[in-house]
Amino acid sequence: MDDCDALEIEKDKRFYYLKMQETFIRGLFGKVLPADFLVQLQGTINSPTLQLHEVWAMLEREYGQSSLDVSTALYSEFISLPTKPFNRVTELVKHMRSLQNQLNELARKNLGEIMISDYHVSQALVAALPSGYFGSSVIQTHDGFKLPVIETMLKQIFSNKSSKDIAAMSKLTVMGERKRPIAVNQAKVNEVKKTKVSSYTECFYCHGTANVYGTSHMKATCPLRISDGG
C-alpha cells in the first residue's frame, strides 16, 4: 500500500468519525432541546439540509442574548429578506415562516401575543417577487390574502425557480414587449387614420403650400384661392 492509499484511508476514517459525531450531536439536541425551540427550526433536527451551526446560532440567540437583541436581529432579517437572492421559491417561503415562528415565540413569551401575522408574511412574499406575473390574481381581502393561498399561487407561477431565474424571466418579457412588431393590418389602419386626419386639416386648393407660419387652413379661408379671386 503506497502513501496515496494510506492518505485516502485516513481521510475516509476522519469523514466517518465526523459523521458519527454529527449524528450524535443531532440526537442529543433532539432529546434535550425544548419542543418550542425545535418547532422554530427549518426542518427536523435530523434533516441533512439543517446545518448544525445554524442550530447553534439559534441557541446562542435564544439563551445567550437578551430577548430584545434577538427579536431586533430577527426582525431586521425578516424585513430585509424580500430584497435578498434565494435559490428556490419554496426555500424563501420556508425561511420566512421560520423567522415568523421565532419572532412570534419570543413575542408570546414576552408580550403575550404574536408579532408577525400570516398576512405580514404574505405581504413580504408578494414584495419579494415581480408583481407583473400575479398582480391581478392577488386580492387583498381576508380570504384572498391568506398565507396558504399566496404560497400556493407563487409556487404555481414560479415553480422552484431562483431569484436569478425569475429576474431573467422578467427581463425577457420586457425585451419581448419592446421588440414586438406592429402587425401589417394595424400599420395599414394607422396609415388610413393618418390620411383621414390630413385630408380634413389640409386645404384642397393649395394643398398646404399657402399655409401662413406653418398653420394649416381650410379651402374657404385659403389665401391663394382668395388672391386668385376664387
List the chain pLDDT tens, one digit each, 230 residues: 566 777 777 777 777 777 788 888 888 788 878 887 888 787 788 887 788 888 877 877 777 666 777 888 888 899 888 888 889 888 889 999 999 999 998 888 888 889 999 999 998 888 888 877 776 778 888 888 899 998 888 888 887 888 888 888 766 554 444 444 444 455 454 554 444 444 445 676 676 766 765 677 777 777 667 666 66
In a domain, 189, yes or no: yes
In a domain, 216, yes or no: yes
For the whole prediction, is pTM greater than 0.75?
A: no
Rounded to an integer, what distance in angstroms lies between the CA atom of residue 12 and that of residue 68? 45
Max Cα-Cα span within the chain: 119
In a domain, 58, yes or no: no
Q: Tell me the sheet residues that pair with 215.
A: 212
DSSP assignment of 120-142: HHHHHHHHHS-GGGTGGG---ST
| Number of domains, the chain | 1
In a domain, 50, yes or no: no
In a domain, 211, yes or no: yes
Residue 212 lies in domain:
184-227
In a domain, 207, yes or no: yes
Angstrom distances, CA of residue 19 to CA of 14, 27, 50, 62: 9, 12, 14, 26
In a domain, 222, yes or no: yes
In a domain, 76, yes or no: no
